[in-house]
């Protein structure tokens, strides 16, 4: 007898998904990668990308199989006849540390019945599903740029501010309101949210920044120069 939903992979996403479903009155069976996989109407693979293909081979045929990878198409799930994907566009720290609040977009795609199942599952989880078409690598690159590069920039900015005698953790806290406000403004205003010496064309200030950063760490000056070049292109 088939169960309704099996989630394979008790990592941060898998554990969070089971908790969210339970809170909303939906049941799911969460299993580890080494366990026997039961037949299910829907099986959602939430293991690391490198393990998806092997896990897919061990899933009984006849049901809908989804993966949670942002980088892979449904090809990695073949020969399952009904294959799709459900990739939350969000970082999950694990239910022990917290569950992201607010809107959680979720990219879905796949065969018609699999895409429909992915949409239903996303809505049961409280996510906002949207369909992704085209180059999967481009989609995932966008997610990495938004999800990781902002973190990298805040960490490096905190490192620079700490050179002024401020604790690094406190430096990140002090810079966060500026960073978050800039991101919120960018959602609606696009490049119009840009401020500062690059927009004003204040080359002396920019040069002084680069000189100071080079004294702290040449790699910081290189990062600043790369971001300055990218920002100049945007403001045009």
Buried b or exposed e, range 167-181, using 16+ CB within 10 angstroms: eeeebbeebeeeeee
β-bridge partners, 45: 8, 67
Question: pLDDT, tens digit, for every residue of 12-38?
Answer: 999 999 999 999 999 999 999 788 999
Q: Output the CA–CA distances (angstroms, integers) from residue 22 to 17, 49, 178, in the order listed.
A: 8, 26, 37
Looking at the domain that runs over 3-133, which CATH code has it been given?
Answer: 3.40.50.720
User: According to the 3-state scheme, what is the secondary structure of 41-96?
Assistant: EEEEECCCHHHHHHHHHCCCCCCEEEECCCCCCHHHHCCCCCEEEEEECCCCCCCC
User: What would the mean pLDDT of 140-158 be, rounded to a whole number?
Assistant: 95
Q: What are the boundaries of each domain within the chain?
A: 3-133, 138-235
User: What would the mean pLDDT of 143-170 be, rounded to a whole number?
Assistant: 95
Question: pLDDT, tens digit, for every residue of 204-230?
Answer: 999 999 999 999 999 999 999 999 999
The CATH homologous superfamily for domain 138-235 is ProC-like, C-terminal domain (1.10.1040.20)
Q: What is the pLDDT of residue 2?
A: 59
**Residue showing tokens 């100071």:** 212
């Amino acid at each position: 007898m088939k169960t309704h939903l099996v989630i394979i992979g008790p990592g941060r996403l898998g554990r969070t998904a089971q908790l969210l479903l339970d809170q909303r009155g939906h049941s799911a069976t969460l299993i580890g990668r080494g366990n026997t996989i039961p037949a299910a109407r829907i099986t959602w693979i939430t293991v690391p990308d490198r393990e998806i293909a092997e896990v897919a081979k061990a899933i009984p045929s006849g049901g809908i199989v989804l993966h949670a990878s942002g980088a892979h198409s449904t090809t990695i799930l073949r020969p399952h006849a009904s294959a799709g994907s459900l990739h939350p566009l969000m970082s999950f720290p694990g239910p022990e540390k917290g569950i992201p609040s607010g809107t959680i977009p979720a990219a879905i795609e796949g065969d018609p019945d699999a895409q429909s199942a992915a949409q239903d599952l996303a809505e049961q989880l409280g996510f906002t599903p949207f369909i992704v078409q085209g180059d999967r690598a481009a989609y995932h690159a966008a997610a990495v740029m938004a999800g990781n590069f902002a973190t990298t920039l805040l960490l490096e900015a905190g490192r620079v501010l700490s050179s002024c005698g401020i604790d690094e953790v406190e430096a990140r806290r002090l810079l966060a309101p500026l960073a978050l406000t800039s991101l919120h403004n960018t959602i609606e205003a696009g490049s119009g949210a840009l401020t500062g010496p690059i927009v004003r064309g204040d080359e002396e200030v920019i040069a002084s920044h680069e000189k100071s950063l080079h004294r702290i760490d040449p790699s910081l000056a290189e990062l600043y120069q790369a971001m300055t070049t990218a920002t100049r292109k945007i403001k045009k």
